[in-house]
């Protein structure tokens, strides 16, 4: 299959959006009921991959996973970034069922499920069907993680029927069954942006590791058999000999414009190529960069100093001057161009110190101090900024070439270490060695011992802003704890999000989660 082939994919996405949980477009629904298709199966499969872009690429799902935690904050800056309190509610844990991120994420993950299921209705090859089922399983896993239940359409021919609702155990069983059933039909090698056997194994690892959480979020249990499953799957991924931890100084190869060829770790990614197809990878820069940076951004999101302080000096994950082919900036002083940006900021082309926009006499100094609302002299400077994806200067404005990272090998090894500590097969010494192998290559000092508290902090350092922080904090029992800005403990019902009001209105098989 040629995965670079693009045929009318914009219409595919529009069609998919019409067939999420709400199913509002009756004309297109009628066509689907009649089996009408104007594109071939390859194009439908590309449409399923494309549907992942909106919830994933630092947008909807990412906001719910990161801005709700200690890793990210979207402060209101004067009149900017207010959005009727949309972002503030996510960070402060004051969201409700009408928050736009709830319906947008739920709706678009449901669209992914539909797009993938639609591939199965159009005579796919065995590999095409396996890829579509993986995409569907991934979207269902995300809905289970965020909302605790999963709407699922059993009948793909009669779209007048409402989706059924899978409860947690049913969803776990279904996803596991699907991933195991397709394993042999998925490719064992090839590009990371194609669903593959190791991607399925990684998703299974996450399913088994979080199984006890999905069944009881307040008091999860971690069965030894589930943890041993995690470890066995990790061993199978390692045995494929396809991945290794990035060499010292090359951590950001995983996120660069040429990461499809440079990364030694990426297991599953979302494809981005200028002039071909992709998602809004520019958001990784635009949402955080100041107006006067090169390129300028929207002066928005930041991290918190407590999170920043998890890192030790010399840890390259904090940021470095990273040399890569698409960097056309002269950067005469070789200043940091990826990672965490704190303190005085500089023009990457001229090396000159940048000034704020208003007042223009104020140096642009990103501060450790941050609040949920900023104003006055802190309006443009409050908060340490995070740019994990190296900017693609080598192409004209539009689609950039950084593939969005979903699964990485470092995550696999950290999950394996955690499963050992939670009672799976293996020794504490083995878990320690796995974590230290990562830390050594990142320029961080080796641990002498390893606890679960060490491990959640290490996951925070290794996987920052990759869309897993909320899930990790829930699993480690820390999501509800007070934070730097949210200073009170949250209620346990917030361990799942509310079913969006719009979805309850159109699907009688959905019930609101307790507490909302």
For residue range 343-358, list pLDDT tens digits in order. Answer: 999 999 999 999 999 9
Q: What is the pLDDT of residue 17?
A: 38
Q: How far is 393 from 395, CA to CA, in rounded Å?
A: 6
Distance from C-alpha of 506 to C-alpha of 503, rounded to nearest angstrom: 5
Same fold, 1-186+494-516 and 195-273+399-485: yes
Nearest 5 degrees, angle CA 468-CA 437-CA 228? 60
Q: Is a pLDDT exceeding 70 seen at residue 261?
A: yes
Question: Which class would CATH give 195-273+399-485?
Answer: mainly alpha
Provide the token pair at 303. Answer: 């991290």
Strand partners, 302: 73
Q: To the nearest whole number, what is the mean pLDDT of the chain?
A: 92
Report whether pLDDT(37) > 60: no
- Residue 38's pLDDT is 53
Residue 24 has pLDDT above 50, yes or no: no
What pLDDT digit, counting tens, does each position of 150-204 carry?
999 988 788 788 899 999 999 999 999 999 999 999 999 999 999 999 999 999 9
Residue 10 has pLDDT above 50, yes or no: no
Residue corresponding to tokens 């539909």:
114
Q: What is the DSSP string of 445-456?
A: PPPSS--HHHHH
Residue 284: per-residue pLDDT: 96
Q: How far is CA 384 from CA 57, 189, 330, 361, 508, in A?
A: 21, 39, 24, 20, 44
As a whole number of angstroms, the distance between CA 124 and CA 104 comes to 29
Q: What are phi and psi of 407, to 5 degrees?
A: -125, 135
Q: What is the CATH number of domain 1-186+494-516?
A: 1.25.40.390
Three-class secondary structure of residue 239 per DSSP = helix
pLDDT digits (tens, 9 = 90+) for 440-479: 999 999 999 999 999 999 999 999 999 999 999 999 999 9
Give the CA distances from residue 187 to residues 24, 76, 335, 365, 503, in Å, rounded to whole numbers and listed in that order.
36, 45, 41, 48, 36
Q: Are 314 and 360 in contact (CB under 8 A)?
A: no
Residue 242 CA to residue 8 CA, distance in Å, equals 34
141: three-class secondary structure by DSSP = helix
Torsion angles phi and psi, residue 338, rounded to 5: -145, 155
Question: Which pLDDT tens digit goes with each residue over 94-129?
Answer: 999 999 999 999 999 999 999 999 999 999 999 999
Structural domain spans, the chain? 1-186+494-516, 195-273+399-485, 282-397
% of the chain with per-residue pLDDT over 90: 89
């Amino acid at each position: 299959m040629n995965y670079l082939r693009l045929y009318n994919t914009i219409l595919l996405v529009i069609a998919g959006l019409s067939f999420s949980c709400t199913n509002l477009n009756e004309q297109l629904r009628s066509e689907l009921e009649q089996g009408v298709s104007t594109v071939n199966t390859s194009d439908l499969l590309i449409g399923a991959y494309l549907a992942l872009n909106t919830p994933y690429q630092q947008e909807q799902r990412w906001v719910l996973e990161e801005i709700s935690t200690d890793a990210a904050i979207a402060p209101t800056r004067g009149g900017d970034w207010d959005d009727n309190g949309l972002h503030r509610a996510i960070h402060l844990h004051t969201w409700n069922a009408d928050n736009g991120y709830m319906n947008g994420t739920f709706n678009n993950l449901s669209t992914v499920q539909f797009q993938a299921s639609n591939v199965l209705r159009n005579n796919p090859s065995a590999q095409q069907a396996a890829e579509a089922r993986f995409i569907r399983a991934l979207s269902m896993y995300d809905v289970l993680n965020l909302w605790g239940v999963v709407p699922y359409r059993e009948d793909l021919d009669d779209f007048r029927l409402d989706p059924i609702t899978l409860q947690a155990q049913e969803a776990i069983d279904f996803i596991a069954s699907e991933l195991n059933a397709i394993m042999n039909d998925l490719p064992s090698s090839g590009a990371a942006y194609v669903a593959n056997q190791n991607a399925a194994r990684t998703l299974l690892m996450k399913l088994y590791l979080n199984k006890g959480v999905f069944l009881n979020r307040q008091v999860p249990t971690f069965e030894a058999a589930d943890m041993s499953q995690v470890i066995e799957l990790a061993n199978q991924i390692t045995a494929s000999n396809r991945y290794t931890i990035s060499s010292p100084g090359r951590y950001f190869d995983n996120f660069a414009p040429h990461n499809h060829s440079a990364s030694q770790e990426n297991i599953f990614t979302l494809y981005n190529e200028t002039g071909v197809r992709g998602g809004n990878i520019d958001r990784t820069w635009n949402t955080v960069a100041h107006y006067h940076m090169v390129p300028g951004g929207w002066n928005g999101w930041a991290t918190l100093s407590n999170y920043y302080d998890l890192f030790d000096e010399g840890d390259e994950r904090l940021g470095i001057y990273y040399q890569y082919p698409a960097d056309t900036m002269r950067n005469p002083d070789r200043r940091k161009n990826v990672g965490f940006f704190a303190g005085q900021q500089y023009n990457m082309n001229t090396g000159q110190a940048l000034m704020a926009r208003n007042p223009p006499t104020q140096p642009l100094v990103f501060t450790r101090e941050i609040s949920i609302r900023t104003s006055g002299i802190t309006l443009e400077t409050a908060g340490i900024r995070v740019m994990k994806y190296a900017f693609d200067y080598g192409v004209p404005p539009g689609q950039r070439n950084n593939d969005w990272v979903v699964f990485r090998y470092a995550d696999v090894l950290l999950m394996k270490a955690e499963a050992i500590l939670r009672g799976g097969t293996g020794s504490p010494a083995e878990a320690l060695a796995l974590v230290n192998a990562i830390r050594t290559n990142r320029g961080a000092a080796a641990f002498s011992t390893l606890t679960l508290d060490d491990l959640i902090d290490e996951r925070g350092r290794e996987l920052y802003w990759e869309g897993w922080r909320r899930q990790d904090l829930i699993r480690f029992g820390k999501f509800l704890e007070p934070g730097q800005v949210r200073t009170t403990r949250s209620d346990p019902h917030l361990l799942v999000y509310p079913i969006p009001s719009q979805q309850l209105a159109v699907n009688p098989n959905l019930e609101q989660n307790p507490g909302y």
